[in-house]
A and B are shown apart, each in its own frame.
Chain A
Amino acid sequence: GQQLNQSPQSMFIQEGEDVSMNCTSSSIFNTWLWYKQDPGEGPVLLIALYKAGELTSNGRLTAQFGITRKDSFLNISASIPSDVGIYFCAGQWSNTGKLIFGQGTTLQVKP
């Protein structure tokens, strides 16, 4: 099935470091979303982006909706151990609610 191209696939960082991950697509989306998934749980929404160029923050998280509407990035500042998990980007079109997910970025934080 169609998926977004998300990178990096995994990251292993020191506590306190900043993290950046991004997502690209050959298709244009009207909405970009970033989710976090913990083991044995479903994805939880972190940030939603609705306009091209939009930059949105949620605590230590910042995400941007690319101008071309084909890409997005997520930054996490001053990482902490509870940031560990798998982060997914997802795109959504305007006339359907279904989400198209990236392959995920696995984040590990060393205390």
Chain B
Amino acid sequence: GAGVSQSPRYKVAKRGQDVALRCDPISGHVSLFWYQQALGQGPEFLTYFQNEAQLDKSGLPSDRFFAERPEGSVSTLKIQRTQQEDSAVYLCASSPQGSTIQETQYFGPGTRLLVL
């Protein structure tokens, strides 16, 4: 499969637990995005990478959220001390070039996070 993959697909965490969500973009894609989708809502932007550089993290809701892409391919979104309001689907998307305008973003299936 050549699409964007994410793991785990489902994660149940106890409040206060740390979680790490993984995204494998399409091979060779320069740009990588993370979005958060609450139940019944559209996705909301979290952060954007161009290769290993995090160029926009304006959507991260708090300092408990941290994302990295150290080698410019796989990315990890980490949430520390999870809260119930963090329950959502976390979507990853990638696009081929660093110039992101007029480029299709290909989405993964998402990780569904439930915080109890």
Distance in Å from the Cβ of A24 to the closest Cβ of chain B? Answer: 14
Interface residues of B in 7-44 (CB under 8 A from A): 31, 33, 35, 40-44
Q: CA separation between A25 and B101, bound complex, in Å?
A: 19
Indicate whether A76 reaches chain B with its CB closer than 8 angstroms: no
* B101/A99 in contact, CB under 8 A: no
Chain B residues with CB under 8 Å of A92's CB are 101
Residues of B99-116 whose CB lies within 8 A of A: 100-105, 107-110
**Range of interface residues on B (Cβ < 8 Å):** 20 to 34
Q: How far is the CA of A26 from the CA of B101 in the complex (A)?
A: 20
A48 touches B43 (CB 8 A): no
The docked-state distance in angstroms from the alpha carbon of A95 to that of B50 is: 13
Closest approach, in angstroms, between the C-beta of A110 and any C-beta of chain B? Answer: 22
Which chain A residue shows the least CB distance to B91?
A42
Give the residue of B41, B42, B95, B107 whose beta carbon is less than 8 angstroms from that of A42: B107
Q: Which residues of A contact B66 (CB under 8 A)?
A: none
Binding site for A on B (CB under 8 A): 4, 31, 33, 35, 40-45, 48, 56, 59, 91, 93, 95, 100-105, 107-110
